[in-house]
Structure 1
Amino acid sequence: MKALTFKRYGKSPEIGFSELPRPTLKDDELLVQVHAAGVNPIDNMIPTGLFKAVVKFQFPATLGSDLAGVVVEVGRRVTRFKPGDAVFASSFDLGTGSLAEYAVVPERAAALKPANLDFVQAASVPMVGLTSWQALNERMRLQAKQKVFIPAGSGGIGSFAIQLAKILGAQVGTTTSSGNVEWVRSLGADEVVDYKKQDFAQELRDYDAVLGTLRGEELEKAVGILKPGGTMVSLVGPLDPAFARARGLNALFGFVFGLMSRTIRRLAKKRGVRYGFLFARADGEQLAQIGELLRSERIRPVIDKVFPFEQAKEALDYLAQGRAKGKVVVRMR
């Protein structure tokens, strides 16, 4: 089968198409013929080796972390799906990728595709949906009338997280460029900072939670808008000792991650707020609940651009430019 792969970590990962054997199934897995695959910033980060200590691949490794397609085969212990079912799933952190003609998905990671979505729309959801769900519901425990800052509101994660936060009854602050101010308001944002003209750290105050999609100094500045007792959940790092413990990594990793996150944790402690790094996990039950929100159209997928499979590498390059309004999706079939 044809797959978009990389062959090593580092500055020259050799990203390109490879012919790979069609995957074989374990007893608890589905073989899915992929119709569409969403791409995410993590797909560009993994080949650099940034997460090689915690995300394991065998080379050549298939890229991609979102998929929608049709089940063609099931393992003997699978009970919730059958051949012919249309499904969607995140394959992130499962040792396999989605930018391929076929993908193996554990039964626990899959959910039935909402019937009102096509495959491209469904493939845009899993990673951003699960990340938003786990950040806002599990880590922040966001409540009605609380205030959450979700930067980059027009991006893939921002456009989904804003909609979910509004369903939870929260007030949402975000940043975007001048041309997207009214558009992110239409998604539900209450306070919108035009980052070309304003500094969010000067405009926003007394927030209960921050979804950290910013890096470096911008992430550190975001600590200052939190009220005491608030929570920052970062999706981009730095990694922290709690993450090392959750992954079962040895003490050396805990020490290294502690050094990496020392500045942001010190700032958080001084402010009286909590900092944590989130690696979204594949979860079919949560994805099914997200699917109900999509079926009822309480959340709508936001797609910037669709690339044919032959241009999957170009899709990743386009995403890396950081200008996508919503998700970037690769159509296989």
Structure 2
Amino acid sequence: MTQIMKVRFHQFGGNDVLRVERLEQSGPDARQILVRVRAASVNPVDFKIRSGKYPSVKGDRLPYTPGRDVSGIVETCGAQATRFRPGDAVFGMVPAFGGGYAERAVLDERAVADMPVGLDHVQAAAIPLAGQTAYQGLFRRGKLKAGETVLIHGGSGGVGHFAIQLAKAMGCRVLTTVSTEHVDFARSLGADLVIDYKSQRFEEVAKDLDMVFDLIDGETRERSWELLKKGGRLISTLTEPSQDRAKALGVTAMRYTVEPDGEELAEIGRLANAGKLKPHVQATFPLEQAAEALASVERGHTAGKVVLTCA
């Protein structure tokens, strides 16, 4: 069986626990596909898992290969996997137990879509986790509709920069908070009002909101409640919002976790093909420099995404 390069850790900790190893690659199960990885995205969840602070990944999952989204070429299909064929260019989300930081990755065929024809593998790999997190937060959970107004906190990050573009593609008015150095970037994404949180309090200019998409938490969330209309929605990827506060204000509030969905990913791909969504990749690193790539994301203030490349 062919040996492949993987980046793994055998204990939780800092970036020094990451190891580049060569291991045999197992084949896909019945409804899975084996993908030769051309690029893999780096996400904040990766360093949360590495540090042992992600609730669903405990010590019984070690050794662990990080990485939740990839782009590449289908090599082998499971006996009951019929959606793709060897040679197809695809992108998708790796299961929660990881595996993206590798030369080969196994994915459920239902979590995969054809790669957008207008993107390369690096751009495509940047989309699945962050893009679907944005899509599901805005539309599946937030029920955002054309003509509504949404405030996106953290609009320059991986999820946020997709959220701005998706909300604009829906025909919404988009407000976003970013740091000073990312104001021009957020404007380039199409945001109607970009608020530099270092120099201006967002509640001075944002009001009568249909939705707050909270990618920051803490004080930022607390200052956002009163900006919502009656019947508005506060949707977060972080801690659970106060249901008592939501009830008192007559709004809906929830936290959610992204779910792999190949059909939804295909819809995001169609928006990319139509020029309505473009991943911004701030930096790329070769797979063997995964520790450096993860450190760059952990330091924060990334504009868009960081991506690993495989030969």
Cα deviation, residue 65, structure 1: 0.9
1:190 partner letter: D
Cα deviation, residue 12, structure 1: 8.5
1:205-244 matched pairs, under 5 angstroms: 205-238=207-240
CA gap of 1:179–1:96, structure 2 versus 1, over 3 A, is closer
- The one-character-per-residue Cα deviations of 1:23-56 (angstroms, maximum 9, x if unpaired) are 2211111001111001111111122333334789
1:65 paired residue among 65, 68, 71: 68
Q: Does 2:164 align with 1:186?
A: no
1:14 paired residue among 17, 23, 38: 17
Q: Which runs of 5+ in 1 are unaligned?
A: 239-260
Aligned equivalent of 1:244: none
Contact 2:132-2:264 at 8 Å conserved across structures: yes
Aligned equivalent of 1:252: none
Aligned equivalent of 1:78: 81
Cα deviation, residue 159, structure 1: 1.0
User: Secondary structure at 2:61's aligned position in 1?
Assistant: coil
CA gap of 1:48–1:266, structure 2 versus 1, over 3 A, is farther
Q: Measure the CA separation in 2 of the matches of 1:215 and 1:46.
A: 19
Q: Does 2:48 align with 1:45?
A: yes
CA gap of 1:55–1:171, structure 2 versus 1, over 3 A, is farther
Aligned equivalent of 1:25: 28
Of 66-75 and 203-212, more deviation after overlay is shown by: 203-212
1:177 partner letter: S
- The one-character-per-residue Cα deviations of 1:47-75 (angstroms, maximum 9, x if unpaired) are 23333347897211110111001111111
Aligned equivalent of 2:273: 295
Q: Measure the CA separation in 2 of the matches of 1:265 and 1:78.
A: 42
2:271 partner letter: L
Q: Does 2:303 align with 1:325?
A: yes
Q: Does 2:142 align with 1:164?
A: no
TM-score (norm 2): 0.93
1:306 paired residue among 284, 300, 305: 284
2:123 paired residue among 121, 124, 135: 121
CA gap of 1:9–1:52, structure 2 versus 1, over 3 A, is farther
TM-score (norm 1): 0.87
- The one-character-per-residue Cα deviations of 1:207-246 (angstroms, maximum 9, x if unpaired) are 11111101222222222221221111111223xxxxxxxx
Contact 1:96-1:103 at 8 Å conserved across structures: no
Of 276-285 and 194-203, more deviation after overlay is shown by: 194-203
Q: Measure the CA separation in 2 of the matches of 1:92 and 1:271.
A: 37
1:115 partner letter: V
Cα deviation, residue 16, structure 1: 2.4
Cα deviation, residue 22, structure 1: 0.5
Contact 1:13-1:47 at 8 Å conserved across structures: no
Q: Measure the CA separation in 1 of the matches of 2:218 and 2:271.
A: 34
CA gap of 1:16–1:237, structure 2 versus 1, over 3 A, is farther
Q: Measure the CA separation in 1 of the matches of 2:59 and 2:71.
A: 23
Aligned equivalent of 1:109: 111
Q: Measure the CA separation in 2 of the matches of 1:156 and 1:11.
A: 22
User: Secondary structure at 1:121's aligned position in 2?
Assistant: helix
Q: Measure the CA separation in 1 of the matches of 2:208 and 2:95.
A: 34
CA gap of 1:291–1:55, structure 2 versus 1, over 3 A, is farther
User: Secondary structure at 1:70's aligned position in 2?
Assistant: strand
Contact 1:307-1:315 at 8 Å conserved across structures: yes
1:88 paired residue among 75, 91, 116: 91
The number of residue pairs the alignment matches comes to: 308
Q: Measure the CA separation in 1 of the matches of 2:156 and 2:248.
A: 31
- The one-character-per-residue Cα deviations of 1:115-134 (angstroms, maximum 9, x if unpaired) are 22111010011111111111
Aligned equivalent of 1:242: none
Contact 1:92-1:281 at 8 Å conserved across structures: no
Cα deviation, residue 10, structure 1: 5.5
2:259 paired residue among 266, 278, 281: 281
User: Secondary structure at 1:67's aligned position in 2?
Assistant: strand
Measured on the aligned residues, the alpha-carbon RMSD in Å equals 1.9
